[in-house]
Structure 1
Amino acid sequence: MSTDWAALVCAGGAARRLGGRDKAALVVGAATLLDRVLAAAAGARQRVVVGPVRDLAVAPGAPVRWRREEPPGGGPVAAIAAGLEEITTPLVAVLAADLPFLTDHELGLLLHGAQGLGTDVAVLVDPGGRRQYLAAVWRTDRLRAALPAEPAGRSVRSLFPGRAVREVSAAGMACLDCDEPGDVERALRWAARPGPPGR
């Protein structure tokens, strides 16, 4: 896996569908969702989390830097814009904080895909063909070029039209995001299974 990449983790959502709970702090398999994503990104040269500062587990990898989107709660594209101010690497993994089964394996596939000739961004795709827009690796300059002048309230999906996208197939577990109570229940069940998660 390339060593010259950064991880930008969006962790500022209000989690309205989870009753306003701090989604990034939910515990799945003895670790918070945010800690699990940061562990998957341990190989990054930079790790930037956009959202409220939280306590983190001591884990290997680059120190975590914190940013806040403007305005706070302005959505994932505003978070990406804020996080990019810290990024100096040619590749950046843009990740949601609620992907409990994302691993360095999927990130490696995305990094490989993003370095393909003519590719702007590589994105995970679940077995049903759904893109997980917040599990993607971008060429950093292409992501900066894709950002709108007013990022607050924009969807991450809106960054993709007109870009050269490489889809990377992944297992359903790796693409699971914990948006709703049923997603969290599914993650807890999967985490309790014996054997390595996500494989």
Structure 2
Amino acid sequence: MFRIEVVEAEKIAYINTPFQAEFNVFLKNKCAGKWDKQRSAWCVATEFVGDIREKMKEIFGHDDTFCEKLVSLKITFHKKIVGQEITIFSRTILFQKSNEIKKGYGVVIPANTYRLQKNEIEIDAGTTVILRDFPLPKLAEVQILDENVEVKIIHDEYDVEMLKSEKKQLCERLCEIEKILQKMEDEK
């Protein structure tokens, strides 16, 4: 399950969620939030915590105090998708950071199905994405208006290629973390 967390400490609250552009803009502009690199969390005044929890429910389907049944979704895009950031049901699938494509939290997508083209992200037609930890009640609230997108709830279905892709992504992330930790140790 992805982590949604509000940690209050005196007059400051630390907010930790998966990346979601709209939520980050809300924290920065409406709550005067500042990104704290050390904690990998947003830092805001505690007076905004109530509003932040409401926005969490709107964006993620739940806040840090309660989480209903979570499911995995299998999403198939039947036509090419192009954009600066690719989202579905307010969850970020892919976004750009430092001229690289990054995956949203809980997203599994085969690496050979997307690319950066003319400063926009392209996802190939026929691509299947797994979106983990999606609140089941939120699925009932959303409508799929595009017949080119197919969504199914999956229960313990494992696709070998998707698992290999996810394993590769996790190994790459572990290598990144190892480098960051080593750099932090070297700076001591």
Q: TM-score, normalised by structure 2?
A: 0.26
Q: Which has the higher contact order (CA 8 A, sep 6+)?
A: 1
If each structure's strand is expressed as a fraction of its own residues, which one has the higher value? 2
